[in-house]
Amino acid sequence: MNQAFDLYWTLAAFILTLFVFSYVLGDNPIFRIVSYILVGVSAGYLAVMVIDFAIIPRLVNPLLSTNSTERNLAIVPLILGLLLVARLFPRFSNLGRLPMAYMVGIGAAVTVGGAVLGTGMGQVKSIIAIFDFAPAGNSENGQMFRYVESAVLLIGTIASLAYFQFGARSYPQEKSRRRLWIEGLAWIGKIFIAITLGALFAGVYLSALTAMIDRMGFIWQFVVQFTPGMVN
């Protein structure tokens, strides 16, 4: 029974993989079917995760709790949730502005806080740490490499920040422009930003290429497993 079940799932995965590769021939109904399946499965999985990890433990259980404090606190998200559902009805959609504003505010605060404390402060700490030139058993060449690495990192950081500095001084009868040294730093920062974006694109492309190789390997293994006479 388990072997037959595994066989059906393997066959389904093989067929869906071929459907995805059909996009090589252009956009077609077969590829759209796979896209719809992916979106539907993802939406269903997300709904189950929200119900299992958010609604039940954070809303249902507190409402059914014997603790009056937890029960009273759970009324607030219940009311906000009901107001959010009201956006599905055009006549009462204005009632959903309050929970939407609350969600956007919380999301913005979490994003900004994470960017400042997680990314910004982490970047500053990394820059400070790399300028620790205390000898730690490194060779002279290793220390020289560390000096160069530190200088490149510092220049790249300052130049990249200068690229996003849009303040300009107004000149009489002339078009407003930034100072010359800011323009030079911005030009250097443009190079660093281009290198960074290129590296990110290469990483994304490599991930996609790895996934494609994995799927092609799966197809080959499927063909070898079910047609053993083809490969000897």
Cβ neighbours of residue 73 closer than 8 Å, sequence gap 6 or more: 62
Q: 143-147, 174-178, 224-228 — which is least confidently predicted?
A: 174-178
Mean of per-residue pLDDT scores for the chain: 82
Between CA 99 and CA 79 the distance in angstroms is 9
| Amino acid, single-letter form, for residue 114 | G
What pLDDT shows up at residue 184?
84
What pLDDT shows up at residue 43?
94
Between CA 65 and CA 108 the distance in angstroms is 32
What pLDDT shows up at residue 121?
79
| In the chain, % of residues over pLDDT 70 | 84
What pLDDT shows up at residue 171?
57
Label residue 139 by pLDDT band (50, 70, 90). low
Label residue 27 by pLDDT band (50, 70, 90). confident
Between CA 187 and CA 192 the distance in angstroms is 9
Place of tokens 């991930």: 207
What pLDDT shows up at residue 133?
60
- Which tens digit of pLDDT belongs to each residue from 87-122? 888 888 888 888 999 999 999 998 888 878 877 777
Which has more confidence, 79 or 123?
79
Mean pLDDT of 192-197: 92
Between CA 143 and CA 141 the distance in angstroms is 5
